[in-house]
Chain A
Amino acid sequence: MCGIAGIVDLHGHGRVSRVELAAMLEPLQNRGPDGRGYYLGADVGLAQARLAVIDPAGGGQPIGDRAGSVWVVCNGEIFNYRELRRELRARGHRFSTDSDTEVIVHLYKEHGEAFVHHLNGQFAIALWDVLRRKLLLVRDRPGIVPLHVSVSGGRLLFGSEAKALLPLLPRAPALDPLALDQLFTFWAPLAPRTLFQGIEQVAPGEMLVVQDGRCRRRRYWHWAFPAADGPYRDEPPEVLAEQLHELLLDAVRLRLRADVPVGAYLSGGLDSSALAALIRREAGGVLRIFSIRFADAALDEGRFQQRMIDHLGARHSAVRCSGSDIAGRLPAAVWHAESPMLRTAPVPMAMLSELVRREGYRVVLTGEGADEVLGGYDIFKEAKVRQFWARQPESAWRPLLLKRLYPYLDLSQQQGLAYLQRFFGRDLHRWRHPCFSHLPRWTTTAMCKEFFSDDLKDALRDSAVEALERDLPAAMASWAPLQRAQYLEMTTLLPGYLLSVQGDRMLMANAVEGRFPFLDHRLIEFAAQLPPHLKMKALNEKYLLKKAVGRYLPREIRDRYKQPYRSPDIAAFFSGHTPDYVMALLDPDAVRRSGYFDPQRVGRLVAKIRQGRAIGAKDGMALIGILSTQLWHETFVEGRPVRSAPETNNDSRQQSAPGA
């Protein structure tokens, strides 16, 4: 990965300077510490801060063809570059480096805008066609790599992160109230919206075409499914499992391509364990594994990690995350994420990438995407039970299935069920609604909006859910319920939060590149064609994946219940030492100044927490959401990044044990 940035003068006035490009790269330094490169044309400038992974010696950017008619900067990787080079060579293209980015140049010359369909990778690309005076800005299909744009003073600015654009804007952008409203509903604003008014993102699977002073958005790829009644792939399950196995192996094989050593993240769950086993199969040498451990035993998965390490004989390092780490590092996480967050879970991910970097690694494979693509989340099960129940709302035994879903909730027998029933039965009558699966989650999350100030509430006339509904594909009505739920998960939480706030941004905080085999688009498209019952068989999640990779896993890992990844929230800030910035930003005057929240309500929340009376997940979500929004404001609107140096504590030391 790297950081890219650039400028196009939309009116042909040639106002592009290298000094400006350098200023844009400055805040991206952490993404690309291995060198910088610039291209300056008549009305365009491209810049790149590089993290060298493939062809470290020859792969500098921007890169052009011999004639200098096409120039490219790319943040990311084209994994099938060797195959593409072979094809292009056969058609007479001549290459001057071994880099994957040079392939883009020739592919474009061969296919024009359709070049993107040939890429298997994760990327944000800026391509300048000198003769046509056309700029393409392209983002990968699922949205792994970020790309931001803004039009200011007759120029289009782009950059990997919003912070690359800030130095060239006349003033700091204000917070977009609709984006905050969406974040407090779906955990992230919906692309192209960002928290910054006037700064947009290129959406996943989208290409921006900038030509003749105009800017056109074009979707080149969609998440799509067959209609509920098919046609699906109709091979026998055993055959499909084998096909999935082959695809996964190939996705891993492609992602092991690098001129530097590649490691892997291991949570101890099914997906990362399977991934580690597949890497072990494909790569020679010592398998290098990195994990997060929590001081809080309720969150820690160390036992499962160790089981898998013993099974594989890998070399393992883990970083221990405590409450004070969370509290100390939240400000830096907000700086990197450029977004408020409702959970602290991104913070440990930054500690993990720090560990990777310290151990001398800069590329890791990671298991994100398996739950979305192959049907793993509890919310899918929950929706299935609710759907089943909605057909016979009077049934006494159908809702009993709800108890199977949340075995870890502290509930007594019959009474707990009565509550689950009431809670999940709320929207039963809306079973035809395209967002049926997600309504309970969104309603619960949206309760945090009670804290919004009157001014902010007044600015929000449109319901976040209705705005989302308007953009849903028409075909969705024909999809099976599981596929609708998958679609919502894949287009809201995955790109907006998991791959960015908790993904790319926390990896790039320490210049570590994450690679996501489960998000190989061939695998996504294969899985979309599977009949739903092979993803979720009754209430057995990721059924076909288990069939495909079960052979590599010890029984305890394959059959374990699914534990959601969580990290300490309220206790991290209030059970021990509370960092100064926390009280300063939650102070009524500070809350009033930024203007997003009601100071009185925030005060009451803090009082409740201080008295030790906050238990529910909702209070935690509200606290983190408010605090991180305040941090965002202080950092990006006031221009005063909060420096809260992580405390040096004994908990966060890494442990490293050589494996078998």
Chain B
Amino acid sequence: MAAATKIRAYILENYLFTDDETALDDDESLIERGIIDSTGIMEVIFFLEQEFGVRVDDEDMVPENLDSVRRIAAFVERKRAIA
């Protein structure tokens, strides 16, 4: 399964509590939708590290990397490429 699909499923399941694929667009800002707040991001990072075996460094923890399904997926791909 592509990273984006897994990430979307995780967010739907854990933040929107649904499996309705239309409930979230890949480009939607998770913060602006109110889906993830500044503490909630810890949970997401925990998931990424566990699920994809990537290491999220302090300097990675910025909205540019983590604020939409597409951004997270791209971030994971980049991380895997250098790993």
Contact = CB atoms under 8 A, between A and B. Distances in A.
B61 A412 contact: yes
B31 to A, nearest CB: 5
Contacts of A410: 39, 42
Contact of B40 (A446, A451, A615): A615
A615 B36 CA distance: 11
A600 B58 contact: no
A422 B17 contact: no
Contact of B31 (A422, A600, A617): A422
Determine chain A's interface SS by DSSP, over half rule.
Answer: helix
B34 A446 contact: yes
B72 to A, nearest CB: 14
Contact of B37 (A415, A444, A602, A604): A444
B59 A414 contact: yes
Given A426-B31, A444-B37, A450-B17, A415 B42 contact: no
Given A415-B59, A415-B62, A600-B17, A616 B34 contact: no
Contacts, number: 78
Interface residues of A, number: 32
A297 interface: no
A422 B13 contact: no
B26 interface: no
A447 B39 contact: no
B35 A419 contact: no
B68 to A, nearest CB: 11
Nearest to B32: A426
Given A450-B17, A601-B18, A604-B13, A618 B62 contact: no
Contacts of B53: none
A426 B41 CA distance: 16
Nearest to B57: A415
B39 A617 contact: yes
Contact of B17 (A415, A419, A601): A601
A618 B13 CA distance: 15
Given A444-B37, A615-B42, A617-B39, A418 B17 contact: no
A451 B37 contact: no
A231 interface: no
Residue in B13, B17, B32 with the greatest tally of chain A CB atoms within 10 Å: B17
Nearest to A412: B58
A656 interface: no
Contacts of A418: 61-63
Interface in A239-281: none
A575 interface: no
Nearest to B13: A604
Contacts of B35: 447
B21 interface: no
A615 B43 contact: yes
B5 interface: no
Nearest to B31: A422
Interface of A: 409-416, 418-420, 422-423, 426, 443-444, 446-447, 450-451, 598, 600-602, 604-605, 608, 613, 615-618
28 contacts: A409-B39, A410-B42, A411-B38, A412-B58, A414-B58, A415-B58, A415-B61, A416-B38, A418-B62, A419-B38, A419-B41, A419-B61, A422-B63, A423-B38, A426-B32, A444-B34, A447-B34, A450-B18, A598-B17, A601-B16, A601-B17, A604-B13, A604-B18, A605-B17, A608-B13, A608-B14, A615-B43, A616-B43
